[in-house]
């Protein structure tokens, strides 16, 4: 019976699939059926409509509004071509085509045929070339990664003469030997900005590779060194790299950092309990106390995370705050990490985050936060001092009260003993007066007792104290 029941159910299901309208529509796997909002019957129209809107959102064609982008300086080896910068640029969705200039274009084409490149759409906009002169034709922007600092001035001129509107470059290994080259780059940047070109240059002392098992990105810091659009007051604060002594700046920065740490430790000693783990105060004080030259020297010495340098360069192509500026990029401290996390917790997009970073938001926040938290710490230290003084006063008052109680008790015992000795002294003097028949001398008994009472009491009390000492010693 069970066999016939199962067989009958199977034939019914087959008949429904063949002749039924709605189940057949469910089984249809065509693209049009996938996008049809009424799939599954009229009762599912609302849900299907929402699904269709989501599908249209993801299938909506991207409009690349900024034209062709030239990318140079990508790392290439025998078995790899660095795809990360290309992914970061493509995620901006502003440039197409993206033309990468590499020594071996055919080898790079094989390296870049990855699944992520296909799925993200990078391969549909990527072009490869081996010659900068050919690739730069028609380019609206040029991203020069790992550019030699000595060639930057010539490259900016080449970009300007080729009609490139936006030029962004990164260069590493910047130290005291490159002061003249940095000053030349600054002059070239100024000249290009005066002619309406958009130029951004990111300097770094070195690059550091992230560890493979590292889940989160390293904190980074961007310091604006100069900008042609700065006000007169801001220009006075810009760094003149020809006159900067990086060794002297580093020595001064180290001295200030050590002084700030000692100052913090002295204040913390006054605070018995500090339940604040959000951000170490010394880090804020140290960096906010440095001049721009010292800050730049410290950043150059620290180097910069490679991935963050590339990310900053990619975002600098379109972020307005990065236009026509010279920046120094370095590894961030705990304060920089805290600041970046605070931006992300506020729900800012990557573009909005980089707007804040390039406009000097970290430096402004660091100074304001250092002042605020330093004031909080100072007030806590003052309260701790007041609390300690109150405790000392309370302890002194308690000790005085105890001493007063002991003194009162001793005085009461002395008075009781004196009263006892007075009674005894009167009795002894009366007996002496009678035994020695002192009445014949013409003095009355009362006068004799009153005249010798004090001395007799003193003798008896001294004798009592002596006996008490001997008893306690025994």
Q: What is the pLDDT along the chain (474 residues), one digit of tens a residue?
A: 555 555 656 555 565 454 444 433 333 333 333 333 433 444 444 445 545 554 444 444 555 556 899 999 888 777 777 888 888 888 888 888 899 998 888 888 888 878 888 888 888 888 998 889 999 999 999 999 988 888 888 899 999 999 999 999 998 876 655 667 777 888 888 888 888 899 999 988 777 776 554 445 678 888 887 766 555 555 555 555 555 555 566 666 666 666 666 665 655 555 444 444 444 444 455 555 566 666 666 666 667 888 888 889 999 998 988 888 888 888 877 778 888 888 888 888 888 888 988 988 887 887 777 777 767 777 777 887 888 889 889 999 999 999 999 999 988 988 888 888 888 888 888 888 888 877 777 788 888 888 888 888 888 888 888 888 888 776
Rounded distance, CA 224 to CA 296, Å? 9
Helix intervals (H) in 163-225: 179-194
DSSP state of 238: S
Residue 244: per-residue pLDDT:
54
Q: What number of CA atoms fall less than 13 Å from residue 474's CA on the CB side?
A: 6
Helix intervals (H) in 436-444: none
Query: Rounded to a whole number, what is the largest CA-CA distance in the chain?
Result: 157
Residue 164: per-residue pLDDT:
92
Rounded distance, CA 330 to CA 309, Å? 8
Please state the length of the chain.
474
Tokens of 468: 């008490």
Helix intervals (H) in 93-178: 105-111, 115-120, 122-125, 132-135, 152-161
At 220, give phi and psi (nearest 5°).
Answer: -135, 165
Rounded distance, CA 83 to CA 76, Å? 10
Residue 40: per-residue pLDDT:
42
Residue 88: per-residue pLDDT:
86
Rounded distance, CA 217 to CA 359, Å? 21
Q: Order of strands, edge to edge, in the sheet holding 68-72?
A: 126-129, 98-101, 68-72, 139-144, 166-171, 198-203, 325-331, 220-226
Residue 232: per-residue pLDDT:
54
CB of 150 within 8 A of CB of 124? no
List of residues 6+ apart from 137 with CB closer than 8 A: 162
SS3 301: helix
Tokens of 197: 């070109």
**Beta-strand (E) ranges in 261-369?**
304-305, 325-331
Rounded distance, CA 130 to CA 141, Å? 18
List of residues 6+ apart from 216 with CB closer than 8 A: none
Residue 122: per-residue pLDDT:
86
DSSP state of 79: S
Rounded distance, CA 392 to CA 398, Å? 10
SS3 76: strand
Rounded distance, CA 219 to CA 334, Å? 8
Residue 7: per-residue pLDDT:
62
Strand 325-331, strand 220-226: pairing: antiparallel
Rounded distance, CA 448 to CA 439, Å? 9
Torsional class of 93: left (φ above 0), alpha (ψ -120 to 50), beta (otherwise): left
Rounded distance, CA 389 to CA 391, Å? 5
Report how far apart, in Å, the C-alpha atoms of 322 and of each of 228, 313, 341 are: 12, 9, 21
């Amino acid at each position: 019976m069970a066999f016939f029941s199962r067989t009958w159910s199977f034939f019914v299901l087959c008949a429904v699939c063949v002749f039924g309208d709605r189940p057949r529509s469910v089984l249809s796997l065509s693209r049009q059926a996938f996008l049809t909002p009424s799939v599954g019957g009229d009762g599912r129209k609302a849900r299907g409509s929402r699904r269709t809107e989501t599908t249209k959102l993801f299938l909506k064609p991207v409009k690349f509004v900024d034209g062709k982008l030239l990318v140079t300086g990508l790392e290439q080896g025998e078995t790899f071509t660095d795809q990360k910068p290309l992914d970061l640029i493509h995620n901006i969705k502003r440039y197409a085509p993206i033309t990468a200039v590499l020594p071996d274009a055919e080898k790079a084409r094989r390296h870049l045929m990855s699944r992520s490149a296909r799925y993200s759409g990078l391969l549909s906009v990527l072009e490869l070339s081996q010659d900068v002169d050919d690739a730069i034709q028609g380019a609206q922007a040029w991203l020069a990664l790992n550019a030699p600092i000595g060639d930057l001035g010539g490259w900016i001129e080449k970009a300007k003469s080729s009609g490139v509107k936006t030029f962004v470059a990164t260069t590493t290994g910047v130290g005291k030997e490159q002061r003249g080259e940095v000053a030349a780059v600054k002059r070239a940047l100024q000249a290009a900005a005066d002619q309406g070109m958009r130029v951004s240059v990111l300097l770094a002392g070195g690059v550091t590779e992230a560890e493979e098992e590292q889940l989160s990105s390293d904190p980074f810091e961007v310091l604006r060194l100069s900008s042609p659009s700065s006000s007169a007051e801001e220009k006075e604060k810009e760094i003149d790299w020809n006159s900067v002594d990086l060794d002297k700046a580093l020595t001064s920065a180290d001295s200030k950092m050590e002084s700030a740490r000692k100052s913090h430790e002295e204040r913390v000693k006054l605070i018995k309990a500090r339940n604040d783990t959000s951000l170490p105060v010394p880090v804020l004080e140290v960096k906010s106390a440095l001049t721009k030259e010292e800050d730049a020297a410290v950043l150059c010495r620290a180097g910069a995370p490679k991935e963050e340098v590339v990310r900053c360069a990619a975002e600098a192509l379109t972020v307005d705050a990065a236009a026509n500026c010279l920046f120094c990029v370095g590894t961030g401290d705990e304060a920089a990490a805290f600041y970046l996390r605070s931006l992300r917790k506020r729900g800012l997009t990557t573009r909005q985050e980089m707007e804040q970073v390039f406009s000097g938001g970290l430096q402004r926040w660091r100074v304001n936060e250092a002042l605020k938290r330093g004031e909080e710490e100072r007030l806590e230290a003052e309260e701790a001092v007041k609390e300690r003084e109150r405790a000392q006063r309370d302890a002194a008052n308690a000790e005085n009260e105890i001493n007063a109680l002991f003194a009162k008790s001793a005085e009461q015992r002395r008075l009781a003993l004196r009263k006892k000795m007075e009674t005894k002294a009167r009795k002894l003097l009366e007996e002496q007066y009678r035994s020695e028949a002192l009445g014949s001398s013409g003095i009355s008994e009362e006068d004799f007792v009153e005249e010798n009472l004090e001395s007799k009491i003193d003798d008896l009390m001294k004798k009592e104290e002596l006996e008490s000492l001997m008893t306690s010693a025994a």
